[in-house]
Structure 1
Amino acid sequence: MQEILNLEPQNIWKNFYDLNQVPRPSKKEEKVIKFMMDFGKKLNLETIKDSVGNVIIKKPASAGMEDRKTIVLQSHLDMVCQKNNDVQFDFDTQGIEMYVDTDGFVKAKGTTLGADNGIGVATIMTVLESQDMVHPPIEALFTIDEETGMTGAIGLDETILQGEILLNLDTEEDDELTMGCAGGLDVTATKSYSVENLSGDFKSLKVDIKGLKGGHSGGDIHLGLGNSNKILGRFLHESLNFNAQISSMNSGSLRNAIPREGHFVISTPTANFDELKSALENLKKDILIEFQNVEPNIQISVSDVELATNVASQDETKNLAFALMTAYNGVYRMSPEIAGLTETSNNVANVVVGDGEMKILCLTRSALDSNKKNLSETLKATFELCGFEVSFSGGYPGWRPNTNSEILRLMEKLYKEMFGEEPKISATHGGLECGIIGGHYPNLDMVSFGPNIFGAHSPDERVEIKSVQKFWKFFVDVLKNTPKK
């Protein structure tokens, strides 16, 4: 604790530490909602919980700033909960174990850190509790469930805010001012199958993948990282040549995280077993070569296991293998307007097979609703050809850039004066709540920014200490220079 509290700015790190002692998985935010309600009430500030669980804390302007526009400061309370397989950790009951590394970053011990979006939350807490900061009227909006559906933003009361400017603190590069983001859609493919009970001479093996980097399925999708579901699909497809039948599979987890780990168990006639195992070992060699630069820590094992007698038929195994081979994954289209920005993508996020059911979860993103529809319908066609039923859910809109934004122009000017360089004015392929909140409050002038956070949505998540200092310095200056009403 003490090494965290010694960091500057101390109040942000104190609040981040306190926040990280409170379990806050998406859809399980009861404890952190209470934590934030108690925080606001202890400050004697107007503190509200809306009907879906968002917390709003309002603070009057500091002396002399009463004539400035009211700013909504917004961050989300929930965090992505990912851990390495060899780490024992319960996100429902334990606080995050943080430490200061010698490389200038704050990290967690084998789990996600929660800097996404905990640093933003801690920054807003620091403004709310400050007695000497110069700031306009503040409406602090802490939303829930951003990571798994944005239901907090979707259910936000449309009468609870009066602000004219919204600063979203959920961008992860400290030289970037974000003015737009992609929308998203959950694609779910499910299939029931009759379980066969093998009798006769069979053997089973397990293919296990771990050590992939994973990461944010929006911000990192263009990096060409390994996807455990797609790689396992190749192994399963290869096994079809040896009459293999799948018994179980579990790979990936959250839709917004690139899958890092997974495995499946298959059974095959004993007469084919050695040849099958040899073929999979050869495929393993090929894949390790393919990913040796981008995924240096990838580990693949092909091992004998106890005979699994409950399996899907060869035809159903084939349907699954074909679905995993053909389901589009990765960048679908780059933006023709903004260099280097992904416009449309899909993440094949989670595959679970067992007990007579197959399920494949995807998250499709696009800055254009038409291409989001195009790619999701492409996936639907792919899965239906393989016998799956497909449903769409959790859709949320993108945030269309406003190049005439008053607050964007002001922040651009202040950044250049403070740091002697132009900030990057950009949109993100990640999902931000701004598009949804802007739907409720169409007159809000919005910008997103934040410190350097790397490896979000994975156990490699880390936040740069000097970047938090830079971000705070800039943030304080923005509040001082808020436009007049």
Structure 2
Amino acid sequence: MKIDQLEPKTVWNNFSRLNAVPRPSKKEEQVIAFMLDFGKGLGLETFSDETGNVIIRKPATSGMEDRKMVILQSHLDMVHQKNTDTKFDFDNEGIEMYIDGDWVRAKGTTLGADNGMGVAAIMTILESESIKHPAIEALFTIDEETGMTGAFGLEGGVLKGDILLNLDTEEDDEIDIGCAGGIDVTATRRYHLKRATHSDIGLQITVNGLNGGHSGMDIHRGLGNANKIMNRLLYLGLPYHMRISSLEGGGLRNAIPRESISHINLGKNHEAAFRNEFTALSEAILNEFKIQEPNLKISLEKAKPAKLVMGLGAQGKLIKTIYGALNGVYAMSAAIDDLVETSNNIARVQVKDGQIKIGCLTRSSVESAKMDLAHALRSVFELGGFEVDFKGEYPGWNPNPDSEILKVVVEKYKELFVEEPKVVACHAGLECGILGQNYPEMDMVSFGPTIKGAHSPDERVNVTSVQKFWKFLLEILEAIPKK
């Protein structure tokens, strides 16, 4: 069976059309043009703002003119992650999808169901001539995954709607009414390159096979962080006068790093002792993660020795700084059971050509706690001689349990599925908090189909769940309150 033969066919067809268009974050030119052509081709009011967000308006269907206008919102960009052995150009190729039982996956890359399924659902409503709905304002934001610049750039007064349905959550039995805010913490420093000795051998350390995942939604699962694991292995080399020549681990800040590779030089007379300790520690780490990370691989192989290496002083501070910097859950919420309140993801570590760069994403649903952890990280990095920069800050979304649309959505869920939905806040970043700054009276909820492994090549969306989500969305549109 082909993807566009799945039910609901119109939604899957639009998802396939969308996934044929390259749309990595910060490179959305092609998908913006695609969406503008889509809206104009339907004869609907269609435009983009100065930031690049696309807005398409559709009048209410007959009999629904007295209902409040609804904003249907999803983001156009997707996280671009791939397996090391996958050859794929996110800038020029469309996603290759396949059906795996009751799931749809991509071949070695992220799928883009986050947030492509939401986009596809909105497209289907816009082009339909039979779906009943109030006046619709479709908002397709850009660059959600790496800064939320689309939401930040949307000016007040552009939107006319009263209710916003964000279609960007990943469990089909949850109604989201709040999310965490975040801030990028970046640490940098220079180091002196030293000439290696002629007696050195070269070695490559590789950590791979980790699950990765969403640095907000998956941070509590105890998954392995390739940068922290690599650092434990490098720490072994300090007594043996190991010298790092390069280090590359992780990628995007909102993805838990799956891979890290380092190249080191080591004196020949230290190799046997180092290998013994390396083997012992590797086995211990594999045992620690045998449940969460059954595919974790750690290897030590011969490589060409480097001519230039990092100085010992900077190297020691780098390794000890990463050891001391928190990764994972910092605090759980006291207000909501089982919700992570504050966390940090050491997402990227790069050592190359005399420059060190460490990138983190710190999240919290409590603003003061977010900055507390950010300052704690700053302190650790500055003790290691790093310069620290805070950027990309975005606010959380404060829950409103008395929301009118929340009551409508909850009642409709119970009516359709004969069970209570979970009304939750999430540790991921949603655009609702940012949009609410310029539209403080907007009534907002978020929901979506079940998506697993977002931000990793294991990303997959559940077919049955998409059917449930679609039915739910259509019923909500018919139940929108009167003006």
Q: TM-score, normalised by structure 2?
A: 0.99
Secondary structure at the counterpart of residue 471 of structure 1 = helix
Q: Displacement, 1:281?
A: 1.4
Structure 2 residue aligned with 1:27: 26
Q: Does 1:480 align with 2:478?
A: yes
Q: Secondary structure at the match of 1:66?
A: coil
Q: Which range moves more in the overlay, 372-381 or 313-322?
A: 313-322
Task: Give the whole-Å Cα distance in 2 for the aligned partners of 1:285 and 1:308.
Answer: 28
Find the counterpart in structure 2 of residue 408 from structure 1: 406
Match of 2:121 in 1: 123
Asked if 2 retains the 8 angstrom alpha-carbon contact of 1:216 and 1:456, the reply is: yes
Whether the 8 Å CA contact 1:184–1:398 is kept in 2: the answer is yes
Match of 1:147 in 2: 145
1:177 aligns with 175
SS state at 2:158 partner: coil
Offset, 1:200: 3.0
Read off the aligned partner of 2:124 and give its amino acid letter.
T
Counterpart CA distance in 2 for 1:231 and 1:278 is 17
Q: Within 2, Cα distance between the matches of 1:268 and 1:389? A: 29
Q: Is the 8 A contact 1:195 1:312 kept in 2?
A: yes
Alignment equivalent of 2:196, drawn from 195, 198, 216? 198
State which of 398, 416, 419 in structure 2 corresponds to 1:418. Answer: 416
2:68 — aligned with what? 69
What is the alpha-carbon distance in structure 1 between the residues aligned to residue 221 and residue 296 of structure 2? Answer: 15
Structure 1 runs of 4+ off > 3 angstroms?
none
Match of 2:292 among 277, 286, 294: 294
Report the residue type matching 2:86 in the other structure: V
Cα drift, residue 124 of structure 1:
0.3
The answer on whether the counterparts of 1:67 and 1:484 sit within 8 Å (CA) in structure 2 is yes
- 8 Å Cα contact 1:113/1:459 also seen in 2: yes
Q: Distance in 2 between matches of 1:336 and 1:199?
A: 55
Aligned equivalent of 1:347, options 326, 345, 356: 345
2:222 alignment counterpart: 224
Partner of 1:431: 429
CA distance, structure 2, for counterparts of residue 471 and residue 39 of structure 1? 23
Secondary structure of the corresponding residue to residue 484 of structure 1: coil
| Secondary structure of the structure 1 residue equivalent to 2:388 | strand
Q: Deviations over 1:276-327 (max 9, x none)?
A: 1221111101101100111000011011111112111111111110111111
| Paired letter, 1:9 | P
Match of 1:254 among 252, 255, 258: 252
Q: Which amino acid aligns with 1:440?
A: N
Aligned AA (1:469): Q
Task: Tell me whether 1:187 sits opposite 2:182 in the alignment.
Answer: no
SS in 1 for 2:77: coil
Structure 1 distance, partners of 2:135, 2:417, is 27
2:304 aligned to 306, 319, 329, which one? 306
Give the alignment of 1:1-400 within 5 angstroms.
3-102=2-101, 104-400=102-398
Give the letter for the 1:398 counterpart: G
DSSP-derived class of the 2:362 partner: strand
Q: SS of 1:36's equivalent? A: helix
In structure 1, distance between residues paired with 2:370 and 2:402: 26
How far does residue 157 in structure 1 lie from its aligned partner after superposition?
2.1
Distance of 2:332 and 2:144 partners within structure 1: 25
Q: Distance in 2 between matches of 1:204 and 1:283?
A: 20
Q: Sequence identity of aligned pairs in percent?
A: 57
Instruction: Please list every run of 5 or more consecutive structure 1 residues that lacks an aligned counterpart in the other structure.
Output: none
Unaligned runs of 5+ residues in structure 2 are none
In 1, Cα distance between the equivalents of 2:132 and 2:453?
33
d(CA) in 2 for partners of 1:235, 1:323: 14
SS at 1:374 equivalent: helix
| Alpha-carbon distance between aligned partners in 2 of 1:266 and 1:315, rounded to the nearest angstrom | 15
Structure 2 letter corresponding to 1:11: T
What's the secondary structure of 2:2's corresponding residue? helix
1: CA distance, partners of 2:436 / 2:296:
41
Distance in 1, matches of 2:104 and 2:140, equals: 23
Deviations 1:218-257 (A, max 9, x none): 0000000000000001011111011111100000000000
CA contact (8 A) 1:250 1:263 kept: yes
Kindly state the Cα deviation for residue 440 of structure 1 after the two structures are TM-superposed. 1.1
What's the CA shift for 1:199?
Answer: 2.8
Taking the aligned partners of 1:281 and 1:361, their CA distance within structure 2 comes to 29
Task: Describe the SS at the equivalent of 1:69.
Answer: coil
Moved more, 313-322 or 218-227: 313-322
Q: What letter corresponds to residue 454 of structure 1 in structure 2?
A: K
- Aligned residues between the structures: 483
| Offset at residue 149 of structure 1 (A) | 0.2
Q: RMSD of aligned C-alpha atoms?
A: 0.7
Deviation at 1:50, TM superposition (A): 0.1
Moved more, 304-313 or 88-97: 304-313
Counterpart Cα distance in 2 of 1:277 and 1:197: 24
Q: CA deviation at 1:159?
A: 1.5
Question: Per the alignment, in what secondary structure is the counterpart of residue 424 of structure 2?
Answer: strand
CA contact (8 A) 1:267 1:309 kept: no
CA contact (8 A) 1:255 1:363 kept: yes
Distance 1:204 1:398 in 2: 47
SS of the residue 2:236 aligns to: helix
| Partner in structure 2 of residue 458 of structure 1 | 456
CA contact (8 A) 1:170 1:450 kept: yes
Moved more, 173-182 or 278-287: 278-287
SS of 1:222's partner is helix
Instruction: Tell me if structure 2 keeps the 8 A contact 1:209–1:298.
Output: yes
Q: Give the whole-Å Cα distance in 2 for the aligned partners of 1:374 and 1:476.
A: 43
Superposed displacement of residue 89, structure 1: 0.5
Contact 1:172 1:450 in 2 (8 A): yes
Other structure's SS at 2:313 match: helix
